Amino acid sequence: MPLLLIASERFSDHLTPPGHVERVERAHVFDAVATAWRKQGGAIVEPRPATRDELLAIHSAEHIAAMEATRGRAVMLDPDTFTSPESEELARLGAGAVCLGVEHALAERAPAFALVRPPGHHAERDRPMGFCLYNNVAIGAALALARGVSRVAVVDFDVHHGNGTQWSFYDDPRVLFISTHQYPFWPGTGAVADAGRGDGEGFTVNVPMAAGCGDADYALVFDEIILPVLKQFAPEMLLVSAGFDAHERDPLASMKVTTGGFRRMLDDLWSVASSTCQGRLVAVTEGGYDLQALGQGLEQTVKVLSGPARPAAHYLDASGGALDAPETTSGTVRGRAAVNAVKAVQGRYWSTL
């Protein structure tokens, strides 16, 4: 199942003020990963812009008009979120990159990885926020539904809760949204009791985790919550909001995940997609603000998705050497507390918990 990388040097044209963590150097890391993949003979395509109908599946016409009004200008949308003259166009390209990935996954039964900025998972129907203008992963999930996919799972392991993605599908049982995130933390959403509404009740699985959680905690959460729920839901397509800001080097958060820990999560998700989704997995970049950790996370994503599914015990670093495998037999007190809290809420919906 050949991996398709969707990338463009144009994403470096999204400019933020000096000192902003979502800076142009992140795009340079994307470009380096894409160049290395191209040198290996890997497939890379330029993104296309999302269509208006694709945007309207998630965002209101008023929100799109407000974003279009920033074209050609540098605008502060909120204290964290800024545009430069080309940002709206690039945000459309980011959303379109995920749509292109969905189309590839459906046609080829193969994975895709969209390297885009600005990120997207905080953008709500009527509101840009958290560096995000359009919700890339939610737009991709909506396109999958429109193309006839019955069950879509979105797993978000960014350190910040994907509030925009959650609200996009909060009452929709066709989309399972699972989020691991530091809590309490910005943006303040993602409480364990937030489990969906109406027909969608039980199809939002929030896994709030205390500051200081590391590889063993995340392994425990995957083993006891995420993988059992995914198994029971049996998605036909899996989308991954791949933020690498839970890394121990990241300046914004207080988690202790290593590159090997991310590799373990990615192995698990690729195993699910290979066995349940016929290889139809689409990953998209979200956060990750230490450049070294970001580069390692992207490299591991490419390695995992370009190879066969394998048990999570196998780890490689960016150069192919061995990484220290994270503890998988038990988590810390923090990890166990997260698991117990989720089971107390979600056990009524998922017999596998």
Map tokens 């890391």 to a residue. Answer: 29
DSSP structure string for 121-147: TT-BTTB-BTTBSS-HHHHHHHHHHHT
Distances (CA, A) of 237 to 110, 231, 273, 276, 304: 10, 13, 7, 8, 17
Helix (H) or strand (E) holding 208: strand 204-209
**CB burial class (10 A; 0-12, 13-18, 19+) of residue 311?**
exposed
CA angle 249, 253, 259 (to 5 degrees): 40
Q: Among candidates 56, 153, 137, which has minimal Cα distance to 101?
A: 137
Using alpha carbons only, how large is the chain's radius of gyration in Å? Answer: 18
Catalytic residue among 63, 121, 122, 161: 122
How many beta carbons lie within 10 A of that of residue 320, not counting itself? 7
For residue 104, indicate whether it is catalytic: no
Please give the span between the terminal C-alpha atoms of the chain, in angstroms, as a whole number: 31
Token pair for 268 = 């698990």
- DSSP assigned state of 5: E
Catalytic residues: 122
